[in-house]
Amino acid sequence: MKVAVDARELSYQPAGKGNYLLSILTAMMVEKDEALQLTLYFQEGGNPEDIKMLICQRSKCNPNSITTCVVRGKGIMWHRTVAKLALQQDVFFAALSYFSAFFNTIPTVTVVHDLAVFRVQGIMHNAKASFVERLLLKKMVKKSVAIIAVSEATAVDLRTYAPMAAAKTTVIPLAPALFDAKQALLPLNKRNGEVLFVGTLEPRKNITVLLKAYALLDEKVRIKHPLVLIGKKGWGDEDYQQQATQEGIAGQVQFLGYQEEKVILTHYHEAQVFIYPSVYEGFGLPVVEAMAAGTPVITSKTPALLEVGGASAISCTTDKPEEFARALQLLLEDTKEWEQHSDASLKRSADFSWEKSAMATKQLLQQR
């Protein structure tokens, strides 16, 4: 089976869709299925051979089973060129853009990560991406031979805005990091006490409420438990560092920016609490990553996060920082509660597996 893949986001500090794509491709290659051949299409300026070797290193697959192709152009012209180049492939795995299904003449399996541009009002989105998704959603559904939704919540949203998607949609969830060296699970007395957030710094992630909630904690608690935010700046003009200063918590808040995966995994294992107050998610991968480290999780009461976190997470109302503050206080100060939620997190994370997700994805690709 020859599979074409839009791999652009693997080259530039992958996050979200890029992390998903890297993990699922690696998991698909782990089985060493010699009949599976990938062709990864990149834009100019990336590092395609490094990405290829990373997948091969992690999966132990034969490097000859992966081909990289650098394609000139951007936007629509890039997609049109790739569609022509992919004519010799059996199926296209489109995890990054609806344009793939629109331009391709070979069967295309499209991944829907979220319907944020439809579901979240009053928050700035990537204007270009929003326009494309609104324009192409129903066209993508019509032209895709199969659609992957990353959660039941996303599948429900998809059926709401494109009812014809129901018959084509399969839910295949994401999973915790699999291919880096496993780190030992740390008990509470071996953790660094930090309150951790991982994600793009943008309004949809509800950073303002997070900072307000943290500011409600007593200063002595904040000094003992610094707030650490990992992630690159996203859309919007909010100055979160300035907000931290205005809230009087700048001395206890650390903005670390984009970090490599190994650094993030270390923070997951060493943090005392992971907090993710997003107003909308298609899945919420950082929640599962943190749970896999046995770290108690606080999330918001949104459909996907309730689905992913299950009973193991403490869920709070998105616009009520006082609820998040109470949850933080509980997990930071009550050892018994921390241990119970740590055990629950670890058990819940076991429900998610890249191996299972990769197998289901390959089956869809084969059914083209």
Tens of pLDDT, residues 296-343: 999 999 999 999 999 999 999 999 999 999 999 999 999 999 999 999
Distances (CA, A) of 159 to 114, 174, 243, 305: 12, 20, 38, 19
Domain for residue 180, yes or no?
no
Dihedral over Cα of 12, 17, 18, 19: its sign: positive
Longest distance between any two alpha carbons in the chain, whole Å = 63
pLDDT per residue as tens digits for the range 48-61? 999 999 999 999 99
Query: Could you tell me which of 23, 56, 52, 26 has the C-alpha nearest to residue 39?
Result: 52
pLDDT digits (tens, 9 = 90+) for 226-269: 999 999 888 777 899 999 999 999 999 999 999 988 899 999 99
Q: How far apart are CA 344 and CA 65, in angstroms?
A: 39
Q: What's the pLDDT score for residue 12?
A: 77
Is 250 within a domain? Answer: yes
Q: Is the pTM of this model over 0.85?
A: yes
Instruction: For 244-261, give one letter per residue: b (16+ CB within 10 A) or e.
Output: beeeebeebbebeeebee
Instruction: Look at residue 193 and tell me if it is in a domain.
Output: yes
Domain identity same for 341 and 357: no
CATH number of the domain within which 55 lies: 3.40.50.2000
- Is 33's pLDDT higher than 90? no
Are both 248 and 312 inside the same structural domain?
yes
SS3 content of the chain, % helix, strand, coil (to 5): 50, 15, 35
pLDDT at 123: 58
DSSP letters along 260-308, please? -HHHHHHHHHH-SEEEE--S--SS-HHHHHHHHTT--EEEES-HHHHHH
Cα–Cα distance list, 257 to 196, 208, 220, 245 (Å):
13, 17, 26, 17
Question: Do 28 and 95 lie in a common domain?
Answer: yes
Instruction: Return d(Cα 358, Cα 346) in angstroms, integer.
Output: 21
